[in-house]
Amino acid sequence: MVEWHWDRTNNNEDLGFTKRKRCHVFTARRQTLKAVMTINITQRIQLAFLLILVKAVYALDVLTGKIFEKIANASAYLLVVAISSSFLAGIAFTYKTGYLQQVSNGYLAGLGFDSTAGSNVLGAKSMRKDLPLLVREAAVPDVTAKAVLIVDKTNTKTLYEKNSGLRYASASTTKLITALVVMDIYKLDDIVTVSKRCTEVGASKAGLPEGTTYKVKDLLYAMLISSSGDAACALAEGKVNSDEFLYLMNQKAYKLK
């Protein structure tokens, strides 16, 4: 915006001079402004590229925002479905097994209230010596073993027994005690020689030749995997005699009792 200033004078000559001077100033300012606003082709390309970049970033933000919103909504829906399904499955399980009833009976018994199960179920605050008790009757499974003995270790109560007073050979459980004693007196890379007596054992054998040498770990593999009696014999008399090894086996079994 250009303001014109007219001098208040009665001299016509001075008035004309002032008007011409103001016109020259206005023209010079307009030319200067036009020169400032002029941009070259390189700057126009840069501005166009910047505008395209801004529009692309805006479009990408709008697009990804909608995608993430859909993913978040779907994830929340699946989470609600999973939690609801788990809750319903838990209710169905507790109803079928009677778990909640057992816990409530035990809790009431711990508080001193009378209940059908007493304090012998899950949730009780005190433990009795005659536990555990059967919550419900269940058929005894068909056991093909000649003798069975199941004892609760916490109170030595017999849970199930079948011919528990009869004596039977310990069979391959002796090899487990043998392995435990071997780990006490040997190193796995120790070398053991197979004696003639060990090749003549009557148990199942790996067929180890007399006089051959093996590492302890190899003999352990043969004894525990193949139930090799000759390997067990070689380990039993490799570092001590058989009587001393038998004594160590009994001591180990006594400690595990």
Q: What is the pLDDT of residues 155-186, one digit of tens each?
A: 888 888 888 888 887 777 888 999 999 999 99
Please list, residue by residue across 47-63, b when 16 or more beta carbons sit within 10 angstroms of its beta carbon and e when fewer do. eeeeeeeeeeeeeeeee
* Other Cβ atoms closer than 10 A to 213: 11
Q: pLDDT value at position 129?
A: 58
Q: Positive or negative CA dihedral for 61, 65, 67, 68?
A: positive
Range of the domain at 199: 173-256
Q: Mean pLDDT, to the nearest integer, of 101-115?
A: 57
Structural domains of the chain, count? 1
Question: Do the domain assignments include residue 208?
Answer: yes
CATH code for the domain in which residue 250 is found? 3.40.710.10
C-alpha distances out from residue 74 to 70, 78, 81, 85, 159, Å: 6, 6, 11, 16, 52
Q: What is the pLDDT of residues 81-94, one digit of tens each?
A: 888 888 888 777 77
Question: Do the domain assignments include residue 142?
Answer: no
> Per-residue pLDDT for 152 more than 70?
yes
Question: Do the domain assignments include residue 39?
Answer: no
Question: Do the domain assignments include residue 225?
Answer: yes
> Per-residue pLDDT for 74 more than 70?
yes
The radius of gyration computed from the CA coordinates of the chain, to the nearest angstrom, equals: 49
Q: What is the pTM of this model?
A: 0.40
